[in-house]
Homo-oligomer: A and B are copies of this chain.
Amino acid sequence: MNGEPQMSKFMSLARKFNCFYFNGDLQHCRPFLVCGKQVGVMQARVVEAACRYPDVFHLDSSGMVSLHPSLNSYEERSARMNQVLSQWKEERLFVTLKGWRNECYEVRTGFADPPLLKMDRSAACLFGIRQYGVEINGYTRHPQLGMCLWLQRRALSKPTWPGKWDNMVAGGLSVGHSVLDTALKEAEEEASIPAHLLANLRSAGSVSFYFESERGLFPNTEFVYDLELPADFVPHNSDGEVDIFELVPINQVMERIFTPDYKTTSCPTTLDFLIRHGFINSDNEPRLPELVELLHIPLHYLYSQSSSSSQSPISPQ
């Protein structure tokens, strides 16, 4: 018994994009509830700032923070939240608000539930709001190079992760569009994939992970699609969000994901592809099941508090 077995590069990477799951200071975090259901997690620094607005935020005796129950419509909740966030922005209280997007994010209990309020996208990480996106693994069985992935380098003008390597197509879910519609729209805008090639787009599941940065908390879920492309197709960008695309053989992808040039929060989708297609397997990753579990951490459970909390799944304490 020599303690922890040596950790592989894959496992170390999984701890990096799940850094809040492993190292998060949860004792000092509070569940954030709207309409009696958990929608987020607030770090101590955010709870402290929120307590200055007792007519907007209510800290109850069980340690949960609720949006004040007197705010009883979507419009009212959104307006009051926006007032608070605007003030925090002026006060330069949180670094993430420097990147104010003027683009709102709809806050819901579950992915398929109706929105409870909206807030600027840059503020979602202050409240640990779950975020959903789509990502497309574009791949080619190249006659000389073998299996390859198309990667994009993000434009230097992007507000987040500028200049980093990323999966071929990625985008956040937006209101009024289904998951598949979003994937199709992003594939067209980001990579100019024509409709006849998009007919091969295949849903392949999802990844869930819990990242943290200086900006805040990122409990992210990505709907994952695979798209096999002909060897002679070359994507090109239409919306200015991509610097370049590069066709990268799998063995080089398996090196690039470990470099600081790769967007950390895009690694789960890339790893999921490499596992589903057999490139990462029990021969090169002895702890494969643990790695797979870390690509699908139980966010549904971490966000299961309610004001009248009933039975939840087990936790090993």
User: With the chains together, A155 CA to B278 CA distance in Å?
Assistant: 31
A183 to chain B, nearest CB (A): 9
- Do A275 and B178 contact each other (CB < 8 Å), given the known contacts A21-B314, A24-B314, A26-B314? no
In the complex, A8 Cα to B29 Cα: how many Å? 32
A208-B289, A289-B300 known; A281-B315 Cβ under 8 A: no
Q: CB of A13 within 8 A of chain B?
A: no
A316 at the interface (CB under 8 A from B): yes
Tell me if A22 is interfacial: C-beta within 8 Å of chain B.
yes
Q: Is B287 a contact partner of A110 (Cβ separation < 8 A)?
A: yes
Q: Is there a chain B Cβ closer than 8 Å to A301's Cβ?
A: yes
Most buried by B among A207, A293, A295: A293
Interface membership of A296, Cβ < 8 A: yes
Q: How many A residues have CB within 8 A of the partner chain? A: 63
What is the bound-complex CA distance between A206 and B206, given in angstroms? 14
A173–chain B nearest beta-carbon distance, Å: 10
Partner-B contacts on A (CB < 8 A): 1, 5, 20-24, 26, 31, 35-37, 109-113, 132, 178-180, 202-208, 221, 223, 275-278, 281-283, 286-290, 292-305, 311-317
Closest 6 CB pairs of A and B: A203-B281, A315-B315, A112-B286, A296-B296, A179-B282, A203-B278
Q: 8 A–B contact pairs at CB < 8 A? A: A21-B313, A26-B314, A112-B286, A178-B283, A180-B281, A203-B281, A289-B299, A312-B316
